[in-house]
Amino acid sequence: MNIHKKTLLILILALLFCLLTSSCNFFGTKENINMKNIVIFGDSYSTFEGEIPQGYAAYYPAHGINKAKDTWWSLYADKTNGNILLNDSWSGSTIGYTGYGNSDCSHTNSFIYRYRKHKEAGFFENNKVDTVFVFGGTNDSWSGAPLGELKFSDWEESDLFNVLPAICHFAYTLTTDLPDARIVFISNTDITPKIQECFEIVAQKYNAEFIQLCDIEKEEGHPNKDGMRSICNQLIKALQ
């Protein structure tokens, strides 16, 4: 066998080895085994039509954000090798049980209720979750829901109609149920200071993380393209 045939044979064998062991990526696809699974519990800022559970209210596309890839969470996942396992975001939703017009959200769209539904369905038992982003509190603030007082144990369902004990309960639940996941609370700009402070307090108490956003470019109270990029960049800087 001449040297050219030997070289060709070696190349063919090397190619077959890579294909069989999946150690080479010839088609430019991402290797899921190395990706971090991300779950988002959010409101309008994190929605995009077709990217959230069926029946949920979406705010985006809007303000020049016409593709999901322009959202903060898609930008973040792309830049950090992340995989959006679940985007459980509902436009206009609150963490606690009180919504706009003093409406009862205890069995509709509150963050707490939505989380419970996924838990009861076995989602968190059947999926490995690396990071949970909680990006809420905006509607709890804007709706004028009662704040109540910080409460760190012995919650009654009636407590969860108040914002502060609802946030405490949600933080405790996430960190207890998902001890191996990185829990990150994201606080919007221009919301009630007591809600911002509550996020920071529960993050410290329950060994989670807190990120206070700043300088977000918005239109009609919602991030535009520059605002989405800014959110993404602030998260990357804070979590690196």
Q: Which two tokens stand for residue 227?
A: 């605002």
CA dihedral sign, ordered 115, 120, 122, 125: positive
Q: What is the pLDDT of residues 136-162, one digit of tens each?
A: 999 999 999 999 999 999 999 999 999
Considering only CA atoms, which of 117, 106, 84 is closest in space to residue 155?
106
Residue indicated by tokens 């954000």: 65
pLDDT value, residue 45: 99
pTM reported for the whole predicted model: 0.85
Amino acid at 25: N
CA distances from 48 to 26, 73, 91 (A): 31, 10, 9
In this predicted structure, the answer to whether residue 185 has a pLDDT above a threshold of 70 is: yes
Q: Mind spelling out the 3-state secondary structure of the chain? A: CCHHHHHHHHHHHHHHHHHHHCCCCCCCCCCHHHCEEEEEEECHHHCCCCCCCCCCCCCCCECCECCHHHCHHHHHHHHHCEEEEEEEECCCCCCCCECHHHCECCCCCCHHHHHHHHHHCCHHHHCCCCEEEEECCHHHHHCCCCCCCCCCCCCCHHHHHCHHHHHHHHHHHHHHHCCCCEEEEEECCCCCHHHHHHHHHHHHHCCCEEEECCCCCEECCEECHHHHHHHHHHHHHHHC
CB 185 within 8 A of CB 207: no
User: What's the rounded mean pLDDT across residues 174-192?
Assistant: 98
> Which residues pair with residue 218 across a beta bridge?
223
Report the share of the chain in percent with pLDDT over 70.
86
Which pLDDT band holds residue 21 (cuts at 50, 70, 90)? very low
Please give the domain boundaries of the chain with CATH numbers for all domains.
1-28 (no CATH), 31-239 (3.40.50.1110)
